[in-house]
Amino acid sequence: MALTHCPECGREVSDLAAACIHCGYPLRATAPMTFWKTVGAILCALAIWTVAGFLLASLLHAF
């Protein structure tokens, strides 16, 4: 654990803290959420394309 400076109030806060303990400024809680939302969106898109490709292949084989 290390200390960093809050960009909002400039006081020392833990770099593991989700928000500044002094002013409540969100420090890093939003970054992992955005990252996992992006990963989830990519996985969803891949799953949809896999299913769509499978259905399309099935349709092409049927005719």
Residues forming contacts to Zn ion in the complex (CB under 5 A) are 6, 8-9, 20, 22-23, 25
Listed in sequence order, the residues at least 6 apart from 1 whose beta carbon sits closer than 8 Å to its beta carbon are 14, 15, 16
Q: Least CB distance from residue 7 to Zn ion, whole Å?
A: 8
- Taking the C-alpha atoms of residue 22 and residue 61, their distance in angstroms, rounded to an integer, is 64
CB-CB neighbours of 13 under 10 Å: 20
Pick between residue 28 and residue 37 the one whose CB is nearest to Zn ion.
28
Q: Least CB distance from residue 10 to Zn ion, whole Å?
A: 7
Q: Least CB distance from residue 54 to Zn ion, whole Å?
A: 51
